[in-house]
Each structure stands twice: as structure tokens, then as C-alpha cells.
Amino acid sequence: MAVLAFAESLTGSIKKAGLEAVAYGHRVAQALGTECIALTIGTPEGASTLGQYGANKVVNVDAAKDFDSQTYAAVLANAAKQLGCDVVVFSHSTSGKSLAGRVAVRLDAGLVSAAISAPSTDGGFQVKKSVFSGKGFATYNITTANKVLTVAGNTFRPEVVGSDVAVENITVEAPAGRVRVKETSTVSGTVPLPEAELVVSAGRGMKGPENWGIIEEMAGILGATTACSRPVADIHWRPHHEHVGQTGVAIRPTLYIAIGISGAIQHLAGVNQSKVIVVINKDPEAPFFKAADYGVVGDLFDVVPRLNEALKKFKASNN
Ligand SMILES: Cc1cc2nc3c(=O)[nH]c(=O)nc-3n(C[C@H](O)[C@H](O)[C@H](O)COP(=O)(O)OP(=O)(O)OC[C@H]3O[C@@H](n4cnc5c(N)ncnc54)[C@H](O)[C@@H]3O)c2cc1C
């Protein structure tokens, strides 16, 4: 019995989501009184440092580096069997979500996605997750012998609890992938939205794409990632990967600043797990204010430039 945590990587290095999966795997292993084995695919840089985040052992499989959920799922499921792991942990990232279900089927395992607690083993194996778009919590008891979990992003922050471990290359049977990757384009220069701690987001109140300079300026000052509401992406004011909400990316940053966004339920569904929400809207009745920790009622074209100046001054005086 052991826990297998998939440390996903991108362009040759381990992603923050991968570190979080290992940190969570470590917590699960502690709850079960067993060890956590981290698995990497394609020899990413820094695999041995996973020992610092709680992996007792790191194994690497040299399967295709290009992500293919069918091949990767076979690798993970076969590795779990080979290594005697009955719990497999993924991050709740796009890759983790696409793998967890497939691996659960291959292992006849019960699956809980987007877990927000380490399992309680008091009379079972119970894991908590948020439900109904963040309006409630549910505790699931997994009763199958094998278990698959995905952990919600920004929930278990990777902390150093150990030291580097040697990486062992293992061979795992896996079918050749049927997916051929022709081109990969990655957004560079900013922290990807699912991993971002600070997010500055704007909506239709911006009136047009030409006005986004003040949003980018604020994000630049804070070191934040930019996001937007769905209509803004639909009308091509902003790229689709910035769209957050029920049908976009679901995020859990420490700080979410919503500017000129009404706060429709479908938008809130993707952002209401943020630790602190700041809303800037000229309509005091905007629904977003009900979900806000701090709110500014005012015209964003007046408030945001003034806030940017204040942030710059604050930064300068604190450097
Ligand atoms: C099935 C379904 C799924 C959906 N999924 C999503 C989703 O994932 N994400 C999402 O975002 N939406 C989603 N939507 C759309 C959602 O219902 C809303 O229509 C959308 O979120 C509204 O976007 P908005 O707040 O930018 O625009 P609006 O509703 O037009 O709101 C603009 C806001 O800006 C304010 N404003 C205007 N001018 C200023 C100014 N000068 N200064 C300050 N404030 C100003 C206004 O008071 C208003 O509150 C979905 C809808 C459906 C039906």
C-alpha cells in the first residue's frame, strides 16, 4: 500500500500543480501511515527536488513528452499496479482532470475530484470538496480498495518537508499514443491562471479592448495574472484562456480583483473560492458586491488609474 502522486511537467520542468499534487500525496500518505511515491514522465528538470515536498521516492517513466491522456493514463495506472499503490493523486489541472477519470476506470477505483482536505480515515476514507459552485461542502467516503483523488489548486501549498531523493527510472507498459502533437503554443511571461495567487480581472464595463492598458498596468504592478469575464472573451476583447467562471477556468487565488464585472452566478462559480475578493463597479447594486470582501463603488476609469498610482507609490516606499 502506497500513494502515487503524478508530478506533471510542462516544457521540461515540474509545474506548480505537480508540486501541489506531491504535497497533497504526502498528506494522504501521512493520513494512511504509508509512503508517497512521486511519478514524473519524460525526465523533467528538478525531479529529485520532489523529495523536498514530501515524496519518499521519485520514479520517472520515459514515455512520450507530449501530453496524451490515453498513454499517460495507461502509464499511471500500470505504474500504480507495479509499485503497489492503491491511492493515485493528481492536481485538479486540465491534465489532472483528463487523467483521473481514465485512471479510476483502469483501477476500478472510486474518484473524488477537487478535494480540499486530506482524507480522514476515521471509519473509512473521507474527503471534503466544495459543491454547488462553492456554496457548500460535501464529504465523500470512498469505499473501493483503490482510490483516485484530484486536489483543488492553491489548496495544499508545496512546503519543504524533506530533502532531495534519487530518481529511479522505471519501465511501464503503455500503448503507443494515437495523438500526434504538431505544435504547442504556451503563454509565457505570466503565471498561468490556475496557478496564480494574484489575479486582476475585468469585464464588459471596460467598454472595449483598447482600454485594457489600466488593467495590464495594475497586473504589472502587483505581479498578477490577468483574467476576464466570458462575454469579453466571446467578443474577442481578450484571449479565451483568460475567461474565468463556470465555463472557463476555475481559480482559487489569494486575491481576485474584479473590475467592471457584474458578478453573474456563472462568473462567481469560477472565482468564489478566492481568499480575498475586491470589486470595483459603478453600480452599488451589482451582485458581485455580495461576494466581495472589499468593494469600491465608482467609475473604473477614475478609480483604477488612481489605485495604480497609489500602488506604485506604496511599492516604491516599501522597496
Ligand atoms: C451557461 C452559461 C455559462 C456562462 N459561463 C460564464 C463564465 O464562465 N464566466 C463568465 O464570466 N460569464 C459566464 N456566463 C455569462 C454570465 O451570465 C454573464 O453574462 C457575464 O458574466 C457578464 O459579464 P460582465 O460582468 O463582464 O458583463 P455585464 O453583465 O455587462 O456587466 C458589466 C458590469 O460593469 C459595470 N460597469 C459598467 N461601466 C462601468 C464603469 N465605467 N466603472 C465601473 N463599473 C462599470 C456594470 O455596472 C456591470 O455590473 C455564462 C452564461 C451562461 C448562460
**What is residue 190's predicted lDDT score, i.e. its pLDDT?**
83
Mind listing the domains of the chain with CATH numbers?
Answer: 3-170 (3.40.50.620), 193-317 (3.40.50.1220)
Residue 189: per-residue pLDDT = 76
Instruction: Tell me which of 256, 267, 299, 306 to substitute to probe ligand 1's pocket, judged by most ligand atoms within 8 Å of the beta carbon.
Output: 267
Q: Give me the pLDDT at residue 301, please.
A: 98
Instruction: Using DSSP bridges, classify how beta strands 294-297 and 276-281 pair: parallel, antiparallel or unpaired.
Output: parallel
Say what the pLDDT of residue 148 is.
98
- Between the CA of 269 and the centroid of ligand 1 the distance, in Å, is 13
What per-residue confidence (pLDDT) applies to 65? 67
Residues within 6 Å of ligand 1 by CB: 203-205, 229-232, 245-248, 260-262, 264, 266-267, 270, 281-283, 286, 299-301
Identify the segments of the chain with pLDDT beneath 70: 65
pLDDT at 180: 84
CA distance 113 to 191: 23
For a mutational test of ligand 1's pocket, the pick from 200, 204, 238, i.e. the residue with the most ligand atoms closer than 8 A to its C-beta, is 204
What pLDDT does 217 receive? 98
Residues 6+ apart with CB under 8 A from 127: 112, 115, 117, 118, 119, 120, 139, 140, 142, 149
The per-residue pLDDT for 91 is 96
Q: Residue 61: what pLDDT?
A: 95
Contacts of 224 (CB under 8 A, 6+ apart): 196, 198, 199, 200, 218, 255, 257
